[in-house]
Amino acid sequence: MRDTMLLCAALAASILLTGCSTLCADCGAKPSVRRTDHACLPSGGAPTMGTIPVMAGPLPGDRDYVEIANIDSYSIPGKPTPEQTEAQKTDLAAKGRAAGADAVIQVQRLNSIKNGWINNPRTPFRSVMQGETKLYFQRGVAIKFVPGGRAVAR
């Protein structure tokens, strides 16, 4: 009786393991990863080398380009000073370089309002109250120039 139970358990385990290995082989043959568009990646060099232009408007001239990413800078609570604005533009340029962009265009200052707990200025001790905070950040479009001047749909 005991031998029969061991045989049944071994048979069930082998069926289960065979089914799992077939299932894993199917998963390995069809990974759920999208291919990367290698035309938009930097060509061999480190993406942190050099600086890229950051422009408020569209690209001057008629060079063809591909939009590769929308990039946001870090947020600043309250109205940013000119120094903070320049630091945000530097942050946009660094993130654009990391994405492999040749330039960042159409940069605009945006804000977002966050609701939640804020410090209560009406008490002499540390406490919180419900309120909102306005955060300012900059957003731009990272672009990669098209080699050879081919026309690209925008």
Q: What DSSP string runs through 36-53?
A: P-GGGS--SS-TTSS---
pLDDT tens digits, one per residue of 90-125? 999 999 988 888 999 999 999 988 898 888 999 999
pLDDT tens digits, one per residue of 44-82? 434 445 678 888 888 777 788 899 999 999 999 888 999
**CATH class in words for 52-154:** alpha beta
The whole-chain average pLDDT of the chain stands at: 78
Q: Which residue has the tokens 């990367």?
A: 36
What are the structural domain ranges in the chain?
A: 52-154
What single-letter DSSP state applies at residue 8?
H
